[in-house]
Structure 1
């Protein structure tokens, strides 16, 4: 009696991604927060740097600028390496170099040395945009949004807590202490991740030049990537405009508070960390576009609430707390939705997709910060609120135009016309 041929061999087990445990997700979220915090705590200690090194405050503020510029360079030059090298040695190496750079910054005898070390810190602390595509590849498709939301909560926690902790520690032990503590934290996390991360193969063997050019090609060929980049650039630009302007408002005659008040306001908004996993679960169930729309509308409403800050006193502070809370939630929820959308495009190019997305978002944030300072100088706090309304309206207009095209496209096709490839 003839027998049926044996079934085809199953794919190599290595083709299935290793499991991403809850404990590892939490460790990765802590790593994201520690890395992101390295480019935000200098905002709180730059006045202390000015006093400690005997330079003008506006000159000392260059430590913030150089770290941010270094971060942009690192996103563009190093994040694409996640598509070329295994993640475990790449992440551990970047964290190790970040720790050494932070040590050099903490020991800098003069401002030029500190600025040089700050550039290196910014370039190598791009851990969060490296981890996000790795986690997207390891997580099941129906949990990708939730995992990404948890990682973003860690990043937001680092962004918000680092300002308050850096300012308090700097006031207590001097401006060098936050750098030295951050160095110890980065080194410890590097050791933990070198042991905890699973072994993953490199998605591609492309040359480095091709990888670096990849984000530009993806921006040209992937309309969903361009749309996500536009949303993030506008909302993150509004976010940065507010946090630049609110520092000027709180230290002005309207409130007469010190620089630590900005850190305390950021500390209040740590509550937004709980919203990112929720946004991720909603994106998993209802799709990223629904979450994007809510996030953009939330940011638009925040502009009106923030306008109450011009009143000063307890009423004004309440408006600032509520408005920044709304805007922080909008920024984090929108980012979760955008990354769920782009990571579904090309699994083999997630790091390059994230490079394009993060670079565009960071450029939008830098522009928003610059415009926010100019708006406050020329028009006061209401000018900053108007800028937030304008930027979020541009994001909303793009979203509504996309929905209109999506709805009308099927009806525009003639009966019997095959769908476009």
Structure 2
């Protein structure tokens, strides 16, 4: 079941990121202004944030398997619409709906935590989140390779078919889970504000990950523009290979989960945030030949992905240690808050690249983990 959960979350969340390395061809095909190209990713993330706030909490109210099934079919329809349109406005609307339906992944993750034993919950969440992060990281090279072989439309068609198949597979394999919260929907939503006010660990962990995910989204939204530009002149296949190497960063997830289970969350967080800052410092400090600079960018992608994945799993382990009857709401709040950071990062990345070039992107990216480290410095020791 852990492997099923991990694979499912990876396939679902990949839908949010197929467009990230295809911003150039999608913008040209739909007539979207280069300065607004970041909206392709930003609107997907905004849809995801709203889904986390208004759909994921239903995991504490409605039967989970049915909720996942409906959300996945919605995502498949939106993917199909994105593949068929040549209008910028319609594509952006479809991107928003893709994000909205892809929150099914964050109904699956608490489901996995609910089925796991308390003493191994961090490891279980780490394995599932490894699948999720692999989905995020593999989405970029897969999308680039498919676009090179066929067209950018093809990846959305393929994903629509795959998401539909996954919906029926999960409906057949997942056990039923009917929560017993005793709340109506609007009371459930109202309780989320109360949970945010009364759960300091949620606010702190969300702040760390919002900064880290903002840096992550900014980097991956902009790096394809830099790699295909005059400095490196890579093809979409070259961008795919670059993104594929970044997948190595996912190895940090299960390691972070085990350390969190052993009570080492604080030191793991410190290392994760430091890796985020180091990732952007490297290309700012090292300037050499084209080949060396490309190698530094590869190292940056791996180090950044390691920091983001380790911090994410450590945060979710802390959230899932709280009572099971509020787990979906806490997870929805946690993910929504840090995806807001991601939406800020992706929109800022496109604008910074257009206005200030790659160096502007790197300085903006560095500001995110440095801010997280400043917040972390105020954390009281247990």
Judge same fold: TM > 0.5, yes or no.
yes
- Return the match for 1:249 from 207, 226, 230: 226
2:44 aligned with 1:44, yes or no?
A: no
1:278 corresponds, among 241, 255, 263, to: 255
Distance 1:100 1:379, change over 3 A: closer
**Contact 1:308–1:320 (Cα < 8 Å) also in 2:** no
Conserved 8 A contact 2:145-2:236: no
Q: Contact 2:37/2:350 (CA < 8 Å) preserved in 1?
A: no
Q: CA deviation at 1:295?
A: 0.7
What is aligned with 1:210?
187
Of the two structures, which has the highest relative contact order with CA contacts closer than 8 Å and spacing of 6 or more? Answer: 2
Q: Can you list the C-alpha shifts for 1:363-389, whole angstroms capped at 9, x where unaligned?
A: 112222333445445554444333333
Answer whether contact 1:46 1:60 (CA < 8 A) is retained. yes
Q: Which of 144, 147, 150 is the equivalent residue of 2:127?
A: 150
Separation in structure 2 between the aligned mates of residue 351 and residue 90 of structure 1, nearest angstrom: 12
CA 1:27–1:330: 2 relative to 1, 3 Å: same
Root-mean-square deviation (CA, aligned residues, Å) is: 2.3
1:267 paired with 2:244, answer yes
Quote the offset at 1:52 in angstroms: 4.8
Partner of 1:94: 71
Q: Which of residues 242, 257, 266 in structure 2 aligns to 1:289?
A: 266
Q: Report the Cα offset of residue 47 of structure 1.
A: 3.7
Give the whole-Å Cα distance in 2 for the aligned partners of 1:389 and 1:109: 36
After superposition, what is the alpha-carbon deviation per residue over 1:89-146, rounded to whole angstroms, capped at 9, x for unaligned? 1112211222233223333464444433333222111122111112111111121111
CA distance in 2, matches of 1:128, 1:308: 38
Does 2:357 align with 1:394? Answer: no
Any conservation in 2 of the 1:46–1:57 contact (CA below 8 Å)? no
Any unmatched runs of 5+ in structure 2? Answer: none
Deviations 1:43-72 (A, max 9, x none): 23444445555x346477654343232222
Quote the offset at 1:204 in angstroms: 0.9
Query: In the TM superposition, what whole-angstrom CA distance separates every residue of 1:207-245 from its partner, at most 9, and x where no partner exists?
Result: 111222333221111111111011101111122222233
Match of 1:71 among 48, 68, 73: 48
Question: 2-side partners of 1:321 and 1:227: how far apart?
Answer: 30
Alignment of 1:95-110 (within 5 A): 95-108=72-85, 110=87
* Residue pair 2:137, 2:244 contacting (<8 A) in 1 also: yes
Structure 2 distance, partners of 1:380, 1:309, is: 17
**Runs (5+) with no aligned partner, structure 1:** 1-23, 408-421
Q: Which has the larger radius of gyration?
A: 1
Q: Distance in 2 between matches of 1:166 and 1:154?
A: 18
Q: Given the alignment, which residue of 341, 348, 351 partners 1:371?
A: 348
Q: 1:301 aligns with which of 254, 275, 278?
A: 278
> Quick one: which of 151, 167, 175 aligns to 1:190?
167
Q: Partner residue of 2:315?
A: 338
Q: Once the 2 structures are TM-superposed, how far is the Cα of residue 287 of structure 1 from its aligned partner?
A: 3.6
Contact 1:105 1:118 in 2 (8 A): yes
Greater mean alpha carbon deviation, residues 212-221 or residues 177-186 = 212-221
Following superposition, the deviation at residue 30 of structure 1 comes to 1.4
Give TM-score, length-normalised by structure 1: 0.83
After superposition, the C-alpha distances for 1:340-397 in whole angstroms (9 at most, x for unaligned) are: 1112123211111111111110111222233344544555444433333332222222
Q: Which moved more, 1:134-143 or 1:166-175?
A: 166-175
For the residue of structure 1 that corresponds to 2:372, the secondary structure is helix
Distance (Å, rounded) in 1 between the aligned partners of 2:152 and 2:89: 16
CA drift of 1:259 comes to 4.8
Counterpart secondary structure, 2:232: coil
Which residue does 1:20 correspond to in 2?
A: none
Instruction: Determine the C-alpha separation between the residues in 2 that align with 1:304 and 1:60.
Output: 26
Q: Return the alpha-carbon distance in structure 2 between the equivalents of residues 252 and 52 of structure 1.
A: 18
Contact 1:42 1:63 survives alignment (8 Å):
yes
Q: How does 1:400-415 map to 2 (within 5 A)?
A: 400-403=377-380, 406=381
How high is the TM-score relative to the length of structure 2? Answer: 0.91
CA 1:375–1:50 in structure 2 vs 1: closer, same or farther (change >3 Å)? closer
Query: How many aligned positions are there?
Result: 381
